[in-house]
Amino acid sequence: MIIFPAIDIKNGKCVRLLQGRAEDVTIYGNDPVEMALNWEKQGSEYLHVVDLDGAFDGKSPNEDIIKKMTRAVSIPIQLGGGIRSLDKIKRLFDDYGIQRVILGTAAIENTELLKRAVDKYGDRIAVGIDASSGNAAIKGWVQKTDISALDLGRKVKDIGVNTVIYTDIAKDGMLSGPNKQETKEMIDQTGLNIIASGGITNLEDLRQMKEIGAAGAIVGKALYTRAIRLSDALSIG
């Protein structure tokens, strides 16, 4: 199981949100590049970066920061947030050095884009499935849909996606533990490589995610508040 330290960028700063709400923001650093270097120095093998401005608005003021980040670290980065065109995907891979792109809103609203991206880039395309009461949410979690998270998982698997970042919105940033049951259902019923996200609070949460077969776990607020030390998390992964 890969442990992914999370770096969420909003207005050029490292932040964490509560349940994805833009107004419930805590700033944990003014320099995302420095934060990426910090996690790399502590032994991280992969980073999970979210461009929150892109997720909410569909356009981003953070692209220069993201480019500097990929050039500063030697470990791979997966990036999500506002990626809604094949041209942007190509630019992120070819010009920015991103290893894996995460499509969220586009996976629901533009299935053709997802198909074309998977056909061209294969496993370098992942899908973010963000669930609220079992249904998928889009556009930075602001807009709920009537599509069940499980059905979306099955649909993207049929398209050729292998990796899904699965987030329970109610758990995200709350330090209340992940949604083990729904994460396990997603793993068992889709057969996808599921990277668990949202609510991971302590080492036992990570052990449980590994136990149910998660391919990875994203740790955000627990690292920033020092509830979990990265070295201890890596020892479980």
In the chain, how many domains are there? 1
Side-chain-side CA neighbours of residue 7 (13 Å) = 29
Is residue 171 over pLDDT 60? no
Cite the active site residues. 8, 130
Q: What's the pLDDT tens digit per position in 73-117?
A: 999 999 998 898 999 999 999 999 999 999 987 888 899 999 999
The whole domain housing 83 covers 2-236
- CATH number of the domain to which 220 belongs: 3.20.20.70
CB 105 within 8 A of CB 84: yes
Tokens (6 digits) for 21: 């709400």
Is residue 130 over pLDDT 70? yes
Beta strand extents in 61-214 (DSSP E only): 77-80, 100-103, 125-132, 135-138, 143-148, 163-168, 193-197
Q: What's the pLDDT tens digit per position in 42-77?
A: 999 999 999 988 776 666 788 899 999 999 999 999
What is the model's pTM?
0.91
Question: By three-state DSSP, how is residue 19 classified?
Answer: coil
Side-chain-side CA neighbours of residue 106 (13 Å) = 25
Q: What's the pLDDT tens digit per position in 175-228?
A: 557 888 999 999 999 999 999 998 899 999 999 999 999 999 999 989 999 999
Question: For residue 105, what pLDDT is reported?
Answer: 77
